[in-house]
Structure 1
Amino acid sequence: MVAALELYLDVDTTRRVRTLWRALDDEGIPSLGSLHQKHRPHVSLAAAHRIDPHAVASALDGFPVGRGLTLEFDFVGQFVGRVLWLGVTVTEELLAHHRAVHERLTAGGVEIWDHYRPGRWVPHCTISLRVPNPVMAPAVRRCLEYLPIRATVVGAALADHSQDISHNL
């Protein structure tokens, strides 16, 4: 189980990422879109096995999480475990926003995984959680065909798909 504080992207970016997910699925590469049909394209600011949505809402009350941020997806990356993603170019504005969110979460007693903390976080939009090794190179090439993407953050929510939680912020 994973709960995440997700930033949601504008309509055009969402469409482009979903199109990429479908293209990979059509090539036999499992995408996040086909995992369980609940995901929407996003960038996670924080994640943990479980996060109380009410604690997050309280900690972030009055703070415009992600609103108005512009994100530029300019590269493709891979995490250990065959996770493929579109990388967000880091800006001072994005890092400052991420830090402000985490300061509020910490003050509110919300525990998150260390690799999502300021100084360790890699901003990204997950494309697949399990790309088979023999098709990683073709999957990366397919992702590169969709870049660059300039996106606007239009919303945020605490999502835990295994428990059917989507708490808008």
Structure 2
Amino acid sequence: MVAALELYLDTDTTRRVRTLWRALDDEGIPSLGSLHQKHRPHVSLAAAHRIDPHAVAAALGDFPVGHGLTFGIDFVGQFVGRVLWLGVTMTPELLSHHQAVHERLTAGGVEVWEHYRPGRWVPHCTISLRVPNPVMAPAIRRCLEYLPIRATVTGAAVADHANDISHPL
């Protein structure tokens, strides 16, 4: 199970990512969109096995999570375990925002996975959690057809789909 502090993206970016998810699904490549129909395109600022959404809200207070952030989604990446994603190009504003969120989460006692902490985080928009090895190259080529994307953050929430949690921030 995974819970995350997710940044949600503008309508055009969301539409483009969902179209990519459907294109992969149509080619027999399982996307995040077909996993259980609860996901929406996002970039996670923090993740853990469990995150208490009320503790996150208390830790963040009136901090405007994601408010006003824009960034490019300009490349494709792969994590070990056949995870395919679209890469977010780091900006000073995004880096600073991520740092500020984590300072507040740490001060509020909210535990997150080490690889989401400042200095280790790889900002990305997940496309698939389980691309079969024989179709990884075609999946990457398909993803590249949808880039570049200019994205704007329009909202944020703590999401834990396994436990039906979606707590807007």
What TM-score comes out, normalization by structure 2 length?
Answer: 1.00
Q: Deviations over 1:47-76 (max 9, x none)?
A: 000000000000011100001100200000
What number of residue pairs does the alignment pair up? 169
* 1:110 alignment partner, SS class: coil
What TM-score comes out, normalization by structure 1 length?
Answer: 1.00
Q: Deviations over 1:113-159 (max 9, x none)?
A: 00000000000000000000000000000000000000100000000
Aligned residue in 2 for 1:34: 34
Aligned residue in 1 for 2:5: 5
Q: Deviations over 1:65-90 (max 9, x none)?
A: 00110020000000000000000001
Displacement of 1:39 in angstroms is 0.1
Mapping of residues 1-169 of structure 1, within 5 Å: 1-169=1-169
The letter of the residue matching 2:94 is L
* 2:147 alignment partner, SS class: coil
Displacement of 1:112 in angstroms is 0.2
Q: Distance between the aligned counterparts of 2:166 and 2:159, measured in 1?
A: 4
The letter of the residue matching 1:45 is L
The letter of the residue matching 2:51 is I
4+ long deviations beyond 4 Å: none
* 1:37 alignment partner, SS class: coil
Q: Distance between the aligned counterparts of 1:95 and 1:151, measured in 2?
A: 16
Q: Distance between the aligned counterparts of 1:146 and 1:71, measured in 2?
A: 15
The letter of the residue matching 2:115 is H
Q: Distance between the aligned counterparts of 1:161 and 1:71, measured in 2?
A: 26
Q: CA RMSD in A?
A: 0.3
Q: Distance between the aligned counterparts of 1:2 and 1:113, measured in 2?
A: 10
Gaps of 5+ in 1: none
The letter of the residue matching 2:78 is Q
Q: Distance between the aligned counterparts of 1:91 and 1:151, measured in 2?
A: 12
Q: Distance between the aligned counterparts of 2:157 and 2:53, measured in 1?
A: 9
Q: Distance between the aligned counterparts of 1:123 and 1:116, measured in 2?
A: 9
Q: Distance between the aligned counterparts of 1:40 and 1:90, measured in 2?
A: 21
Q: Distance between the aligned counterparts of 1:153 and 1:110, measured in 2?
A: 23
* 1:135 alignment partner, SS class: helix
Gaps of 5+ in 2: none
